[in-house]
Structure 1
Amino acid sequence: MPVSRLRRPPCTLRAALLTAATALVCILTPIAVPASATATTPAPGGASADQVPGMDVSRHQGTVDWQGAWDNGARWAYVKATEGTDFQSPTFAEQFQGAYDVGMIRGAYHFARPDTSGGAEQAQNLVDHGGKWTDDGRTLPPALDIEYNPNGDDVCYGRSQSDMVAWIREFSDTVNELTGRHPAIYTTADWWTQCTGNDASFGSTNPLWIARYAASPGTLPAGWSDHTFWQYADSGTFPGDQNWFNGTQEELEALAKG
């Protein structure tokens, strides 16, 4: 069973996450997240000031100091729930509840394995094990983590571009049927271009969670005029990966409310 969540691909692939000035360097310098969580918080270079700090975690973070993250400014979190068709994170329930208990808005994400099954089966795994959505104002739409294959050189999991688009569509439609929300899509511009042919058909339905370890989100995949979430570093002030929500606290609450 893969340990999942290869956020940091090999240097040959990781260059796509870096600016041109640093593309030849395979060392990432995390961007510190300020403690304040107000809409006027100073943001990393090139980013808007109207952003809300957040984080994402998996079983690799173990027991998370949620109160410490809250005190340092985090106001939302995504927690890994599932992977493929048969993996459920053993720390999901504790982490998901811990984020809620300190006041965070939180959501569940699924690590995609298009090489092991169809999208509908994996969507069912997510919804059955933490990916349900409720309009309580504290639950983000589920998220699909679709990125570099952690188990080999075939970054597209053996699927053609058209097959990959169909797989993502099946996953997204199934989640929507089961929860009433289309999932956010976590990806990189490089992976999306390489493995979907830079398909533009998801921008009108699925929030974009872009990963780019740089001073700005950069050029987005086709179909999205803006991002909703931005993962900009794999370590920093909070446990796990460091993120911004692209909007105010009120807009974040509206997204959760649906």
Structure 2
Amino acid sequence: MARHRTPSRRRPRRRLGVLAVTTSALTLLTAATATAVPAGGPPAAVASLPRGHDVSSHQRNVDWPEARANGSRFVYIKATESTTYRNPYFAEQYGGAGDAGVIRGAYHFARPDRSSGAAQAAFFVRNGGDWQADGQTLPPALDIEYNPYDPKHECYGLSHGQMVDWIWSFSDEIKRETGRRPVIYTTTHWWDTCTGRSTSFARSHALWIARHGSRGPGALPAGWAYWTFWQYDTKGGLPGDQNLFNGSPSRLRTFARGW
């Protein structure tokens, strides 16, 4: 996420569904501001929203009861990358979160330069990216962002049309295997740069937007009018990156069950 997570790399990222908010709230939450986020907590204007986080192998053995006591209500856990990498801590992290009463889901780090979207989606589902309508499991998430292995090819060597096709290939396979469309985690800059401002996903895919160190998530990627998750910082009171859900706790469970 905000730091790319593989067994051997840890690279800072340049600064990542569908629940509506009121017009006044939307205006506030999408305003592009530069006010710093208070250390250790979410922006004051949205502090009442359910707090969550995302983790990977870097967090290793998370104390989930402590995370729950400190305010964790949901978490996304890295499961896979490409068709070769599986988070060795995934089973323990995923099971531990569920046992502690934290709503949890899995995410996949996209490598569009390695294989098709469908192949990576199938690998993801087989290794933790499945979904159940139990109110405790978030839909699978696709983490698609800057290429951490080759900064000169941020779009993985794909054209706008090829990238859009790759994402749809991934999404269609996830939908076929799980019954849900994946949540899409990205930044506005990457999305606009690498998909050519595609609007074809906004109607059917929840948005997980990354924008750090600000009062709001700023301008959203093309097509989306509101966000479902906002990753607002890499540090805070919970293990891993800090996130908010754009709705009430009851709507978080409704989102987990499926709309």
Using structure 1 for the length normalisation, give the TM-score.
0.86
1:146 to 122, 131, 144: 144
Matched, 1:8 2:12: yes
Secondary structure of 1:186 counterpart: strand
Could you tell me the percent identity over the aligned residues? 54
In 2, Cα distance between equivalents of 1:181 and 1:3: 29
Equivalences, count: 236
How far the C-alpha of 1:135 sits from its partner, in A, is 0.8
Contact 1:144 1:184 in 2 (8 A): yes
How far the C-alpha of 1:29 sits from its partner, in A, is 6.7
Matched, 1:157 2:156: yes
Contact 2:146 2:190 in 1 (8 A): yes
User: 1:39 is matched with which residue?
Assistant: none
In 2, Cα distance between equivalents of 1:96 and 1:79: 7
How far the C-alpha of 1:8 sits from its partner, in A, is 2.7
User: 2:81 is matched with which residue?
Assistant: 83
Q: Mapping of 1:56-67 within 5 angstroms? A: 56-67=54-65
RMSD: 2.0
In 2, Cα distance between equivalents of 1:5 and 1:166: 28
User: 2:98 is matched with which residue?
Assistant: 100
Structure 1 stretches of at least 4 aligned residues deviating more than 3 Å after TM superposition: 1-7, 19-22, 28-31, 47-50
Residues 1:4 and 1:183: Cα distance change in structure 2 (over 3 Å): farther
- Give unmatched runs, 5+ long, in structure 2: 16-31
In 1, Cα distance between equivalents of 2:64 and 2:118: 32
Letter of the structure 2 residue corresponding to residue 159 of structure 1: L
In 1, Cα distance between equivalents of 2:33 and 2:48: 26
User: 2:115 is matched with which residue?
Assistant: 117
In 1, Cα distance between equivalents of 2:62 and 2:130: 22
- Give unmatched runs, 5+ long, in structure 1: 23-27, 34-42
In 2, Cα distance between equivalents of 1:123 and 1:81: 11
User: 1:237 is matched with which residue?
Assistant: 237
Residues 1:30 and 1:147: Cα distance change in structure 2 (over 3 Å): farther
Contact 1:50 1:247 in 2 (8 A): no
Secondary structure of 1:51 counterpart: coil
User: 2:210 is matched with which residue?
Assistant: 211
Residues 1:7 and 1:67: Cα distance change in structure 2 (over 3 Å): farther
Q: Mapping of 1:38-57 within 5 angstroms? A: 43-45=42-44, 47-48=45-46, 50-57=48-55
User: 1:32 is matched with which residue?
Assistant: 40
In 2, Cα distance between equivalents of 1:206 and 1:177: 15
Contact 2:33 2:215 in 1 (8 A): no
Letter of the structure 1 residue corresponding to residue 114 of structure 2: T
User: 2:195 is matched with which residue?
Assistant: 196
In 2, Cα distance between equivalents of 1:30 and 1:160: 39
How far the C-alpha of 1:5 sits from its partner, in A, is 8.3
Using structure 2 for the length normalisation, give the TM-score.
0.86
In 2, Cα distance between equivalents of 1:162 and 1:211: 23
